[in-house]
Structure 1
Amino acid sequence: MKKFLRTLALGAALATTCYAHWTYDRIIVNGEVIGEPWQYVRRHSNGNNFLSDVTSNDMRCNINGDISGANTSTYPVHAGDQLGFTIKDTFGHPGPQQVYISKAPADVKDYDGSGDWAKIYTLSNCETKGCGTGDGTVKWATYRAQTFNFKLPAEIPAGEYLLRAEGLAIHAAQKVEGAQLYVACAQIRVTGNGTGLPGPTIKVPGDYTANSTGILIPKIWSQITNYTSPGPRLWPAGTEEVHMLDGKVKE
């Protein structure tokens, strides 16, 4: 009987862990979920598991995501469209959600993501008015989400791009390499008249370190009273982090 109970408890713990993890498998364009899972998002071999070594090339498009472009379709979008990702499972941990773009030098199917990346979106913590408890600790806009949406900048030049989703779970980030990163890349072909120069840009890997602000936090997540997301400033200039207000994501 004791063995059965231990087995049952272990199964429940594994189910909880699996439920808390996630990956990205489809894109959303102007409110419509597009295609089949992995049709426009590069399939990786990491399941819904996280990455913790921010110096690894896997941080670009996840494990084997750099070589799966040839088997991934590229979806046409227009500069200024509303885009998004669907999540397989759910954002089951506290932390921000960010989106980066990198222009391919030619066919995005052949691009490994070694070029420049600009950050275009951050969905982060709740603003004070909508946090509910009034205790000063950070609440998270992404918790238990199953989709998220953002605007592709109207300024983005035409071309083929990797669109990289990055979810950062910080529930163990008070220790070095305790932060959990979940990443995947979609392939898009942008049309329009944008003439902006995305930036500031970073390399992936290259910008994040194990001790970066937002990657390593000073104390357990439930006790922190403010949070700064990792990475460069958002592009275009003047773009602000998205927060929650009164229990809803601000659009």
Structure 2
Amino acid sequence: MFPTKSLALLVGLSTLLAQVNAHYTFPTLVVNGQTTAAWSAVRKTNNFNSRAPVTDVKSADFRCYTSETRATASTVTVAAGSTLGINSDGTIYHPGSLNVYMAKATNGDASTFTGDGAVWFKVHEVGAVTDGGTSINWPSYNAVGTSFTIPKSLPSGQYLVRIEHIALHSASSFAGAQFYISCGQINVTGGGSGNPGPLVSIPGVYTGNEPGILINIYWPIPTTYVQPGPAVWRG
């Protein structure tokens, strides 16, 4: 038999491993069908090892989660009108919704752009599928990321592209929602003269009290789901 202390240590390590395995990061982009190396075109986040989420929507880490790494990345070229993928380092383990925001580098250089101010606009979202209270399903659950079309009318230039997956399994209490976040760097070519918006600040876009963030997804089964954040800009 194991000594009590050894057994407790094994249980603790097992619990920690389970928690790490239940979490995920988004370290790669998919451009022209090719997946970038991990953390090459995506800024390495604080949780690149722990995979721990952000839960404070007002924290500075809510933007790109890089307060500890101070990371930048290479900037990859993406044509307007083409498909951009953002992949996780495993399946998205928790049920919840997903948003993708972009912000044009006001200094012209995505690698040094901090994303301050009301510069972010939403380009993609994956919410819930409901049937009026019998069931609720999450298309992003068990996926390995997401992909979307860069609007053809998006002006050319360098951008940050930020993904957030909002895990809602513990979201019935304030700050229970878990945000899995990363920011990639892209250079958009062949763009148009569109006017992306509405523009929001990150942090600042959420209070944490939104019905799509503070929610019990299990009981009573929600009859609808309200995606947090602004409307998607499609060009």
Same fold flag (TM > 0.5): yes
Question: Would the aligned equivalents of 1:99 and 1:121 in 2 still touch at CA under 8 Å?
Answer: yes
Q: Does 1:83 align with 2:75?
A: no
Question: Would the aligned equivalents of 1:97 and 1:124 in 2 still touch at CA under 8 Å?
Answer: yes
1:24 is aligned, of 20, 23, 26, to 26
Aligned residues: 227
TM-score (norm 1): 0.84
Aligned to 1:11: 13
Q: How far, CA to CA, are the matches of 2:46 and 2:187 in structure 1?
A: 24
Residue 209 of structure 1: how far off its partner (Å)? 0.4
Q: How far, CA to CA, are the matches of 2:133 and 2:205 in structure 1?
A: 33
Which blocks of at least 5 consecutive residues in structure 2 are unaligned? none
Equivalent residue runs for 1:155-166 within 5 Å: 155-166=153-164
Residue 127 of structure 1: how far off its partner (Å)? 5.4
Q: How far, CA to CA, are the matches of 2:189 and 2:202 in structure 1?
A: 25
Q: Secondary structure of the residue that 2:154 maps to in structure 1?
A: coil
1:57 is aligned, of 57, 60, 64, to 60
2:228 is aligned, of 227, 230, 234, to 230
Q: How far, CA to CA, are the matches of 2:148 and 2:201 in structure 1?
A: 22
The one-letter code matched in structure 1 to 2:226 is T
Q: Secondary structure of the residue that 1:173 maps to in structure 2?
A: coil
TM-score (norm 2): 0.89
Residue 6 of structure 1: how far off its partner (Å)? 4.4
Q: Does 1:126 align with 2:129?
A: yes
Q: Secondary structure of the residue that 1:110 maps to in structure 2?
A: coil
Q: How far, CA to CA, are the matches of 1:210 and 1:135 in structure 2?
A: 24
Question: Would the aligned equivalents of 1:50 and 1:181 in 2 still touch at CA under 8 Å?
Answer: yes
Q: How far, CA to CA, are the matches of 1:164 and 1:101 in structure 2?
A: 6
Deviations 1:66-85 (A, max 9, x none): 9322xx10000100111111
Deviations 1:168-195 (A, max 9, x none): 0011111011111111000000011311
Residue 207 of structure 1: how far off its partner (Å)? 1.6
Aligned to 2:217: 221
* Alpha-carbon RMSD: 2.0
The one-letter code matched in structure 2 to 1:87 is S
Aligned to 1:111: 113
Q: How far, CA to CA, are the matches of 2:129 and 2:85 in structure 1?
A: 20
Q: How far, CA to CA, are the matches of 1:136 and 1:20 in structure 2?
A: 27
Q: Does 1:206 align with 2:204?
A: yes
Which blocks of at least 5 consecutive residues in structure 1 are unaligned? 129-133, 238-251
Q: How far, CA to CA, are the matches of 1:149 and 1:6 in structure 2?
A: 43
Aligned to 1:101: 102
Q: Structure 1 residues 151, 127: CA separation in 2 closer, same or farther (over 3 Å shift)?
A: farther
Q: Percent identity?
A: 37
Residue 15 of structure 1: how far off its partner (Å)? 2.5
The one-letter code matched in structure 2 to 1:32 is Q
The one-letter code matched in structure 2 to 1:13 is T
Q: Secondary structure of the residue that 1:108 maps to in structure 2?
A: coil
Q: How far, CA to CA, are the matches of 1:207 and 1:45 in structure 2?
A: 21
Q: How far, CA to CA, are the matches of 1:194 and 1:167 in structure 2?
A: 29
Question: Would the aligned equivalents of 1:159 and 1:191 in 2 still touch at CA under 8 Å?
Answer: yes
Question: Would the aligned equivalents of 1:137 and 1:222 in 2 still touch at CA under 8 Å?
Answer: no
